[in-house]
Amino acid sequence: MDAVYEPLRALAAASFRSQPQGHTLQPTALVHEVFMRIVGQRDAVWKDRAHFLAVCATAMRSILVDHARAKGSIKRGGAERERVPLDSALALAKEDEVDLLDLEEHLVLLSTLNERQARIVECRCFSGMTIAEVAEVLGVAPRTIDAEWAMARAWLSARLADVR
Amino acid sequence: MSSSDGARARYARLQGLFLEARALAALERAALLAEVRAEDAALASELELLLAHDRPATDQPAAPNSPLRRELDALHEQSAREVERELPERLGEYRLVRKLGEGGMGAVYEARQEKLQRTVALKVLRTGSFSPQALRRFEHEGAFLGRLAHPGIARIYDSGRAETPHGSQPYFAMELVVGVPLTEYARAQMLALNERIELLARVADAVQHAHRQGVIHRDLKPDNILVDADGQPKILDFGIARASDSDVRLTLQHTDVGQILGTLAYMSPEQAAGNPRGIDERSDVYSLGVLLFELIAERLPYDVAHKPLPEALRIIQEVEPTRLGTVDSNARGDVETIVLTALEKDRSRRYPSAGAFAADLRHFLREEPIDARPASRIYRLNKFVRRNRTVVVATLLVLVALAGGLVASLRFALAEAARRREVLQLSASQDVEELVARADALWPLHKDRIPEYRQWIDDAEQLVRRLPALRATLDRLRARALPRTSAEAARDRRAHPRYPELQSLEAAITWRRRLLKWRVDGVPVQLPELGELEGLDVERMHGLAYEYVQPERQQCGGEALGLALALRAHERAPLEQKADTANTLALAYLAVGDDVRAEATYELVPQFIEQAVPERRSVLVSVPGRYDWPARIRHLISRYREQGWQDRVEGALRGLESQRATLVEQIEAQREWRYPASGAEDHWWDRELERLIAALEALERDLLDERGITAAHGWSVRRRLEFAEALLAGEAPDGAYASAWDAALEEIQAAYPGVDIQPLTGLVPIGPVKGTEPELWEFAHLASGDPAVRNKDGSLVVTERTGVVLILLPGGEFWMGAQSADPGAQNYDEGANDENEFPARKVFLSPFFISKYELTQGQWRRLTGENPSRITPGPSATKPVDMVTWDASTEVCRRYGLTLPTSAEWEFAARGGTSTPWWTGKDARSLAGMENLADEFARTHGGTQSWAAFEPWDDGCSFSAPVDRFQPNPFGLYNVLGNLREWSCDRVTVLERFSPLQRDPVAIPATGATRQLLLKRGGSFEGLARLARSAQQGTGTYGDYYTGVRPALPLEGR
């Protein structure tokens, strides 16, 4: 299903749209910012594609959150935080928008409840990894990942809907 | 937020229930929920909520195919390739053991060469950054470097390329040195000062060895100089920077900022300037100086570690190093001098070689005097003055290369790419400089240069084509500038040099508009209140009124006030002044367009004059101008009444308005752009781009346009091309010039027996010189103007358009100089100057051309676009050019295929076969009317009082005369002895130094210290006959109004 990760690009686009003018990074550029971040780490040698993607996911998440925070701080003073569209298949919410910083907040909470699930969400959402790839990286059977992903997704989706 | 184990347990329980429930059918699920609710209602609600948010598993993607994922996959591919490349198993015959490190140009491995059973250091270069040519050079030089054999240099065993799955991989195999960096070694061993110096001297020995083989290291730094267990320093990577074509810029490209700064500290100023051509042995000497400093002081001579890159580069190029003695008081005196000498910014002041540096270090160690001298204070001061714009550009190039390098592996360089384009645009400014230099080198004018002219024009056109893009860039940049505030605009306007002009233009327009209103529309003149002006006395009031209304007033706008003042002044004036005030009043009425009242008023004037007291009356009548007033006023009145007055005023108004529009455009044009405080860089770009655009525009106008001509560069290249093409056509077998030569060649050859004469490019024969015996021929020099034509009487006509006329003289033996000793001997001249004219010498000259006339102002203007002459009156520009320097005269002649005559050539030509003091005879009086000298006429007709004396005759001319006036000498040359003195290419000739019968003698060409002896020959309109003798040699250093040019040209190159 093609549309699964499209929203992340949209997310990326949206999170950069409100940057000061002149800063016109495209989603593609975001991807490269991710790369810059990971190659900046010493010994950026990864075993395989899945490992690489997992590293990217972490970087992507932190870049997006940084940008969202920067934007939030610009808007401090009552303005509503920007909502970004999130796709239905990701099913974090019934409605098609989610606040990136809300997501981040709940991901952090989730990681205190079940660290692996938070990691699964990160890999799935921020670098478009398949269940099989996540399973490979985390060294767990795909069935387990499948179940945990279902749980984490439902939990986040319910929480995010609840916030709204 | 903290989370207790309880929360985790609860979450785990929830998850278990959720996974169980979602596997159940709806009914069973409801049962489960009821079960849970009975036990824990909150947990049940939570479970219900989760289930509501669940999605079926079929929503999962089967394969990753989103755009985001595709981007990441592409990145992975790319990085995977990089990774693989970094860790090859083997290269050629080498098996890689482990990675030792990574540098700017690639990685170094410990490798095993199995065939020879030896361990080597294998340096594998990154291929991405090398062009095929660079790779070829790399191989070539690699083999060459293998010949460097010195205990202080890590041996290069082998170089080549290994074919790998990722393409051809260049490598160097070299001696594996196990040791520690130089500085660390010195620290660890706690070496004493002398030991440290000795250590560095050994390094310098090794460097000297390589230099002698023609190899420069370019990257000497502690990391590249390891000291092994035996205490032997070994230099790594010799010549590799060069062999791999990685000058500073490339080195930076693949290195992170920290490494760059590490390398920068040892980089010479010429390297920091990004100028690979400026690098030679002395660049290594500089790096050795830094190493010496560091070894002694345990710190670097500059603090560049924490500076931004451009600042660091600037420091290296401009800031004086810390003085060693201030860091370590033991290192005052000679050591300090040695270090400072090695660290000179100007490499010509450094040690000429590493060997000299090593030798001086050993002098010091042996307590012998050192060769280096402390720099003088003046010299040090002077060094601060240097600052070079190209440095800035180079810095930017380095910066951009750096930025580019960091993202080089990414496919999208985004903003950096745009910036790089801008820098490339800027690099055009060096291209412009280069093109200008090339154009200046495309002399002398010659048809053989046609391909070069064409090539130049192609290149220049390519560059000039960038102008629109550059202007667009500048416009875009300026769109980012702060808007000009109205206060700034007003200030700019007022500061504009032509602002006053605009003001008076405005006033003139306003006045004419009012005039039309008053006269045509019948709007009455509004007389302003006089206010404080009421207090003025009649005289002052009258004077002021006059200023406002007089017909030649420079500033309009005060006419109504002028009228009010004139009325009041006339009313108050006593009777004897009323003639004056009535006059002014009439002018005031005219200024407001009221010719009727003006006429009525001026008719009263004679009556007032009658009534004035007699003395006053005589004044009124006698003052010129005043007396004319009635006539002038009558004239002004009649102008108002002429047919078409209104059309004329309206026409004038339109003219003034269009003038104003042009002027306003100029004045309002913004000349300075301000950028936000954060835009210091923008401001810099603004100025650089503006400068570049101006340079390109000048290039287009002066050197590319067919009409381009400047004193600095002579003809534009296109003009040279057009001339050369016309010449080529004319000199082709059936061309006009070729025909002229064909027709005359036999006759010419007959006139010069024994001289081999063939058609010469750029010249055409005119015919035999009128009245010379034996026959001499005249030739037209085509570049300087139209060929001269003959009058009915056979003499040449010189007009402003005429080009240089050259007469071919056969040369041969002649007596040069003069002597006052023996009336019976050769060239007796009682006025001879024994210092340099004595003794007369018989010399031998080859055939040469010399101009029949002095170079005219018209010719000079055609060749340079300017006329510097001071003596310019006269209907045509056939007067000789004056105020030309020796340099300018030499250069102009050279450009157009001519020269200045040597002293001997000039004298041969001036004598015209005579041996008397003047060609006219041995008596000064013989010159009367023949040559233009300082004479009676000049004394009485404006010749300056500073002239000491005048000859007693009258030649009818006080300054310089047109070049064809006065009489020709026996060779047909005009004004050799008079009119203007003439520059010679020689310097003052001491005849004693010429050997008898010397062939084509010349004194040393005038350069440098002998400039004051620049030579002028012949007399001038402001000098006496005594100074106009044929043997007379004069000197001068600059252009003046009595010195000109008589071009010459040897028949065969001198």
DSSP H helices, B176-239, are: 182-188, 193-212
Average pLDDT of the residues in B829-850: 87
Q: What is the mean pLDDT of residues B397-407?
A: 38
- Taking alpha carbons only, the member of B814, B1022, B1019, B848 closest to residue B918 is B1019
**φ and ψ of A14, to 5 deg:** -65, -35
Please answer yes or no on whether B76 and A29 come within 8 Å at the CB atom.
no
Sequential DSSP letters for B894-956:
HHTT-BPPPHHHHHHHHHTT--SSBTTBSSGGGGTTTS--SBHHHHHTT--TT----BSS--S
Could you read off the pLDDT of B490-539 as tens digits, one per residue? 888 888 888 888 888 888 898 888 888 888 888 888 888 888 888 888 88
- Tell me which residue of A60, A43, A30 sits closest to A124, measured CA to CA: A60
Of B12, B54, B83, the CB nearest to A154: B54
Q: What is the pLDDT of residue B964?
A: 93
Task: Tell me which of A11, A21, A28 to substitute to probe the interface with B (most B C-beta atoms closer than 10 Å).
Answer: A28
Residue-level pLDDT at B680: 60
Residue among B66, B75, B407 whose CB faces A2 most closely:
B66
Summarize pLDDT for B972-1016 with one digit per residue, the tens: 999 999 999 999 988 877 777 778 888 888 876 545 555 557 889
Q: From the CA of A19, how many Å to the nearest CA of chain B?
A: 15
Asked if pLDDT for residue B625 goes beyond 60, the answer is no
Q: What percent of chain B has pLDDT over 90?
A: 32
Percentage above 70 pLDDT, chain B? 80
Contacts of B440 (CB under 8 A, 6+ apart): B713
Is A28–B410 a contact, with Cβ atoms under 8 angstroms apart? no
Residues 6+ positions from B577 with CB-CB distance below 8 Å: B538, B542, B612
3-state secondary structure of B200: helix
Residue of A nearest to B480 (CA): A22
Specify the 3-state DSSP secondary structure of B796: strand
Residue B52's pLDDT band, with cuts at 50, 70 and 90, is: confident
Best interface-test mutation with A: which of B20, B69, B254, B477 has the largest number of A CBs within 10 A? B69
Q: How far apart are CA B18 and CA B29, in angstroms?
A: 10
Contact flag A2-B55 (C-beta cutoff 8 Å): no
Q: Which residues contact B4 (CB under 8 A, 6 or more apart)?
A: none
C-alpha distances out from residue B836 to B146, B850, B978, B1038, Å = 63, 24, 21, 22
- Tokens found for residue A147: 């179940």
Q: How far apart are CA B323 and CA B336, in angstroms?
A: 7
SS3 call for B548: helix
pLDDT at B939 (0 to 100): 77
- Please answer yes or no on whether A32 and B22 come within 8 Å at the CB atom: no
Q: Which of B5, B40, B205, B219 is catalytic?
A: B219
pLDDT of residue B839: 83
pLDDT tens per residue across span B458-495: 999 988 988 888 888 888 888 888 888 888 888 888 88
CA-based nearest residue to B923, from B1032, B821, B1021, B830: B830
Known catalytic residue: B219? yes
Chain centroid to CA B281: 29
- The CA distance from B265 to B258, in Å, is 11
* Set of chain B residues whose Cβ sits within 8 Å of the Cβ of A133: 64
Encoded tokens for B648: 């004329």
Helices (H), A2-140: 6-17, 27-40, 49-75, 100-113, 115-127, 131-138
Instruction: Please give the pLDDT value at position B105.
Output: 54
Q: How many CB atoms lie within 10 A of CB B773?
A: 8
Using an 8 Å CB-CB cutoff, list chain A residues near B29.
none
CA distance A6 to A87: 8
A 58-87 residues with CB < 8 A to B: none
Of A71-80, B261-270, B611-620, B770-779, where does mean pLDDT reach its minimum? A71-80
Supply the pLDDT for residue B320.
83
Q: Transcribe B369-392 into DSSP letters.
A: PPS--PPPHHHHHHHHH---HHHH
Tell me, yes or no, if A25 comes closer than 8 A to chain B by beta carbon: yes
Q: What is the pTM of this model?
A: 0.49
pLDDT-based confidence at residue B391 (cuts at 50, 70, 90): very low
Q: Closest residue of A to B10, CA-based?
A: A113
Q: What's the pLDDT tens digit per position in B347-374?
A: 888 998 899 999 999 988 888 778 776 6
Rg from Cα positions in chain A: 16
Q: Do A4 and B66 make contact, defined as CB atoms within 8 angstroms?
A: yes
Percentage of the residues of chain A whose pLDDT score is greater than 70: 49
What value does the mean pLDDT take over residues B946-968?
83
Residues 6+ apart with CB under 8 A from B447: B724, B725, B727, B728, B731, B761
Nearest alpha-carbon partner for B203 in B313, B355, B60: B355
**Chain-wide mean pLDDT for chain B?**
81
B54:A150 CB<8 A: yes
B744-751: long-range contacts, CB 8 A cutoff, minimum separation 24? B744/B777, B748/B777, B748/B808, B751/B775, B751/B776, B751/B777
Q: What per-residue confidence (pLDDT) applies to B495?
A: 84
Whether A6 sits inside 8 A of B66 (CB atoms) is yes
More confident residue, B334 or B70: B334
| Residue B206 confidence (pLDDT) | 93
Residue B240: its pLDDT value, please? 58
Amino acid identity of B906? W
CA atoms within 13 A on the CB side of B355: 5
Interface check A21 vs B, CB under 8 A: no
Which residue from A minimizes the CA distance to B3? A112
What ipTM goes with this model? Answer: 0.80
- DSSP-derived letter for residue B626 is T
DSSP single-letter state for residue B999: B
Rounded distance, CA B710 to CA B724, Å? 18
Give which of B597, B580, B581, B605 is closest to B636, Cα–Cα: B597
Determine the Cα–Cα distance for residues B63 and B60; give it in Å rounded to an integer: 9
For residue B984, give every residue at least 6 positions away whose Cβ sits within 8 Å of its Cβ, in sequence order, or none.
Answer: B900, B901, B902, B903, B906, B1015, B1016, B1017
A132: contact with B, CB 8 A cutoff: no
| Beta-carbon count within 10 A of B67 CB | 16
Contact B619, B468 (CB under 8 A): no
* Cβ within 8 Å of residue B678, ≥6 positions away: none
* A15 beta partners: none
CA neighbor of B422 nearest in space, from B348, B491, B477, B500: B477
CB-based contact B79 A91, cutoff 8 Å: no
Mutation site, A136, A157, A159, A160, interface B, largest B CB count within 10 A: A157
The number of residues in chain B equals 1054
Q: What is the pLDDT of residues B855-908, one digit of tens each?
A: 999 999 999 999 988 887 665 679 999 999 988 999 999 999 999 999 999 999
Confidence of residue B325 (pLDDT cuts 50, 70, 90): confident
